[in-house]
Amino acid sequence: MELVSQIIFITELIGVIAFAVSGAMLGIEKKLDLFGVMVFAVTTACGGGVVRDILLGVIPPMMFRKSIYLMVALISSIAAFCLASVMGSFWAKHVDAYNCWMNFLDALGLGVFAATSVNTVMQLYPKSGVFMATFMGTITAVGGGAIRDTMANQIPLIFRKRIYAIAAIIGSVVHYYMMKAGVPAAASMFFCIGSIVVIRILAAYYRWNLPKAPEGEWLHEKDSKDMHK
């Protein structure tokens, strides 16, 4: 069990780095200063975990009890800030490569936090159902990004990006049932992470999207009528 805990801990740190860099890069794109970039990074990397811990009654949240998560997020954000300052012109010339790396980091963070959160729920509440485990896995994976996007004054990615939260839901469900079937936690966790990363990469490559309601003429007519009232 000690080995599994160490694997989960290392995996969580990888997820923190991935999400912190993703959040930092959005802060840089929004032309924030170093402090703003660090706030975006910490929010993205740790925000979902704080929400999960509060919902599960883990008070104070893990972020405040294990400072290593915060420190890793801060160091990652500073490194991303310095790297962007030095290599900004390089990435400007290789936008496609930059977008691929950002999508991969985002997918990796999504998978890691979904998987580790399902583990947390199963440890704290062994008799929990699939809904609780899936909800906590998904809210942890997307919560930090949603808070960050709200601070950036934009619609959260989970409501507009290709198969984003859906990937976390699928991975969490698979992870839950694999553990229930007796698959070792570490193997199940890595399968969950891998499946989420693959789904996100395929969704980005093939531009998979959930259907949206067509913006019909009646909406424009309604707006026109409202303006003339």
User: What gap in Å lies between CA 192 and CA 49, rounded to an integer?
Assistant: 18
| Cis before 61? omega within 30 | no
The backbone torsions φ and ψ at residue 100, rounded to the nearest 5 degrees and listed phi first, read -65, -45
pLDDT at 218: 54
Once rounded to an integer, what is the mean pLDDT over residues 42-51?
Answer: 94
pLDDT tens by residue, 77-108 = 999 999 888 887 777 777 778 888 888 888 99
pLDDT at 219: 57
User: What gap in Å lies between CA 222 and CA 58, rounded to an integer?
Assistant: 48
User: What gap in Å lies between CA 227 and CA 130, rounded to an integer?
Assistant: 48
Note the pTM of the prediction, 2 decimals. Answer: 0.85
Residues of 154-182 as b/e, b for ≥16 C-beta within 10 angstroms?
A: eebbbeebbbbbbbbbbbbbbbbebbeee
pLDDT at 216: 53
Report, in angstroms and rounded to the nearest whole number, the Rg of the chain calculated over CA atoms: 19
137: amino acid identity, one letter: G
Which of 7 and 115 is assigned the larger pLDDT? 115
Once rounded to an integer, what is the mean pLDDT over residues 15-30?
Answer: 92
Once rounded to an integer, what is the mean pLDDT over residues 111-139?
Answer: 92
